[in-house]
Chains A and B, each alone.
Chain A
């Protein structure tokens, strides 16, 4: 029982960490000279790297907002999980925790989809997707599965 609990919490924390890294680290799109992410575009020319704030388009800001919201919801869901662990009736389901986690996964999914679709505007052909972008896509199914587990899980004592 305790092992199951630990496993679930580890899964949740893993999804949360992936979300954090994906949002913060500057590696969504890159080429040998530059890397860019949701917040800045950094280019390295002749050993000097200069960073400019990212284009202030509406869509990139939407992606920023969705990623931050997904982090917030995942955090809230972890907090709710521990709350519900102690206050839920026996046999009850962690609906609220699961709902928040599923919302977080949906936000990551929409953010990644918007970024992929609107990429034609701000990414050249020669650039490749960085690991932060991939982490965002990986975080989505992890968070979704974690949320589903919460919804299905019943409290035993």
Chain B
């Protein structure tokens, strides 16, 4: 703490430089994303060329899309909005009644009181005022409550919709979009919309109503002066148009940089172990500083637009007032109108321009939320390429027969990973896939669990095309365990129960026992109740893998895919898992991808793959004996490596 103290003191000597430099960065020329430093560390990726969000779409299109989203969110509340308008009307009437009642009380109530002690008028006025206060209180509380509830409902609905949508989108989308941006959409953009919903709905309604009401009164009071006031309208419109255009662009930038800051932040914190051990802190700090400055710059630009916009409206109002004053005065001098009318006109004029200020404030929040809505509506419009069937074929009791019918697949057009795969896995068979990196093993696994759909041909389970199965049925039937043993926040038990939510403690423990995970779990401080720590940081990689196995065991699918699922296990654990596998795999179809032949040897059948094609197919023992076969050689190498 003493360090902190000295530092902040000695730092006092040059705070201005610091501020000046940062200020320069914040107000300098707009930094362009993609130039300088930034592009270099980020590298090039396919999505830069065809970004899902910004596919040469016009501003008008984006606006229309986000309005449609806003409308779909607000539609269920249109009657509530109407009720709110009524409430605001009553509320304002009761609020505005007070000053005029005060005047009334003084003008009409006091003279009789003074003259003959008659307080009836005064008392009546006071009684009416009290009534107005009561009405005001009730309507005000009701309004804040109702508008608050509506806002929060809309927000909750939007959160739910987005969350579900992101879960529905396929893996390919997420690989392109990155998690940081998803997080940014679901946190920061939502926050911007919350701002809109929280601030000034009543202000906006009041302002709009006042504007219309007073505008009408002005025209009726004196047409000439009213016309002068109307002249300012086109000017206001021009300013609004300018602001609208300029701020739309700027707020888009704010949102984009906010997302970039979040992406960088999330990645740093997720990979903090690598950051620290490779002394990446400084470079990261440079990148983060750069992104923060850009984000700050975008924010300053947005605020400065508002700093021009709002006073401009004020200026127009002030100038109009002076014009009315001078022109009205001139008219009074020439006897064209009375002083009383001019005085009244000027008073109303003030009330006419005040709500305009309010509207300009609101418009600013609106623009910010609008950019967020644009982003969100863009995401909501993304359709998964892996589509759920509209009328799925039911699969009651899956047997687990998998058939690849001339399946073709490629991640990038023109370089097929699987040229044309013909493969039948009978129900109950344990199949091992062997081959080098890029042979297509993982692709087969991903196709079976429908992370992707084949480009050509069909993939069936019990004769039904995977594309015709409902997601629920498919996931109940096919489960994949990978080496990426993601742990969710919570306890060990909860993480196992992920395989089948709602499992009892006994079932969870039984699953753990079955894969041999119970030994280490029982040694944890709180057994199954031990918190796994962020991303399972409390556990070793091997332990996480055992939990993932228990999870899969609990899920009890007809088809189980193990993609390098045993690579982190040490030998005793692997042995346990292997023993367990015999029981686990006994009555189900299984596909095992492993580079360790010890795991492969559990299989009934081995496929050796190369460039997406099957080059050997047979029982492990048979392949081992094949003269100069690929598998036989691999097996020999493995035997050698053991010694």
Question: Are A and B co-members of a single complex?
Answer: no
